[in-house]
Amino acid sequence: MKATDISNMADTEIQEKIKESRTELFNLRFRLATGQLDNPTKIKAVKKDIARLHTELRARELRAEREAQAS
Protein backbone atom coordinates (compact mmCIF):
# COMPACT_ATOMS: atom_id res chain seq x y z
CA MET A 1 0.00 0.00 0.00
CA LYS A 2 1.37 3.38 -0.96
CA ALA A 3 1.39 6.50 1.18
CA THR A 4 -0.67 8.38 -1.41
CA ASP A 5 -3.40 5.74 -1.17
CA ILE A 6 -3.43 6.07 2.60
CA SER A 7 -3.56 9.86 2.55
CA ASN A 8 -6.71 9.69 0.42
CA MET A 9 -8.50 7.48 2.97
CA ALA A 10 -10.80 8.68 5.73
CA ASP A 11 -9.87 8.07 9.37
CA THR A 12 -12.43 5.31 9.73
CA GLU A 13 -11.15 3.59 6.61
CA ILE A 14 -7.61 3.69 7.96
CA GLN A 15 -8.69 2.20 11.28
CA GLU A 16 -10.58 -0.55 9.48
CA LYS A 17 -7.55 -1.27 7.30
CA ILE A 18 -5.37 -1.51 10.43
CA LYS A 19 -7.74 -4.13 11.87
CA GLU A 20 -7.68 -6.10 8.62
CA SER A 21 -3.90 -5.91 8.39
CA ARG A 22 -3.45 -7.07 11.98
CA THR A 23 -5.69 -10.06 11.27
CA GLU A 24 -3.70 -10.80 8.13
CA LEU A 25 -0.44 -10.53 10.08
CA PHE A 26 -1.74 -12.97 12.69
CA ASN A 27 -2.72 -15.44 9.98
CA LEU A 28 0.65 -15.09 8.26
CA ARG A 29 2.50 -15.72 11.51
CA PHE A 30 0.34 -18.75 12.18
CA ARG A 31 1.02 -20.12 8.71
CA LEU A 32 4.75 -19.47 9.19
CA ALA A 33 4.75 -21.42 12.45
CA THR A 34 2.97 -24.36 10.84
CA GLY A 35 5.24 -24.33 7.78
CA GLN A 36 2.51 -23.41 5.30
CA LEU A 37 3.78 -19.94 4.37
CA ASP A 38 5.29 -19.76 0.89
CA ASN A 39 6.52 -16.16 1.00
CA PRO A 40 7.84 -15.04 4.43
CA THR A 41 8.61 -11.54 3.12
CA LYS A 42 4.85 -10.92 3.09
CA ILE A 43 5.04 -10.57 6.90
CA LYS A 44 7.49 -7.68 6.56
CA ALA A 45 5.30 -5.96 3.96
CA VAL A 46 2.19 -6.20 6.15
CA LYS A 47 4.10 -4.82 9.15
CA LYS A 48 5.23 -1.84 7.05
CA ASP A 49 1.68 -1.23 5.88
CA ILE A 50 0.47 -1.18 9.49
CA ALA A 51 3.22 1.28 10.38
CA ARG A 52 2.30 3.54 7.45
CA LEU A 53 -1.32 3.53 8.51
CA HIS A 54 -0.44 4.43 12.10
CA THR A 55 1.92 7.15 10.90
CA GLU A 56 -0.79 8.77 8.81
CA LEU A 57 -3.27 8.70 11.70
CA ARG A 58 -0.73 10.30 14.03
CA ALA A 59 0.15 12.96 11.45
CA ARG A 60 -3.53 13.85 11.17
CA GLU A 61 -3.83 14.09 14.96
CA LEU A 62 -0.84 16.41 15.17
CA ARG A 63 -2.14 18.53 12.29
CA ALA A 64 -5.50 18.90 14.03
CA GLU A 65 -3.79 19.90 17.30
CA ARG A 66 -1.71 22.55 15.54
CA GLU A 67 -4.80 23.95 13.83
CA ALA A 68 -6.65 24.06 17.16
CA GLN A 69 -3.79 25.92 18.81
CA ALA A 70 -3.53 28.39 15.93
CA SER A 71 -7.22 29.31 16.24
pLDDT tens digits, one per residue of 7-60 = 999 999 999 999 999 999 999 999 999 999 999 999 999 999 999 999 999 999
pLDDT confidence band for 3 (50 / 70 / 90): confident
pLDDT confidence band for 71 (50 / 70 / 90): confident
pTM across the whole model: 0.90
Compute the CA torsion angle 7, 11, 17, 22 (nearest 10 deg).
110
CA 54 – CA 62 distance, rounded (Å): 12
CATH value at residue 35: 1.10.287.310
Domain that holds residue 42: 3-70
**Domains: count for the chain:** 1
CA 66 – CA 55 distance, rounded (Å): 16
What's the confidence (pLDDT) of residue 30?
A: 96
Compute the CA torsion angle 52, 18, 10, 59 (nearest 10 deg).
-40
What's the confidence (pLDDT) of residue 1?
A: 78
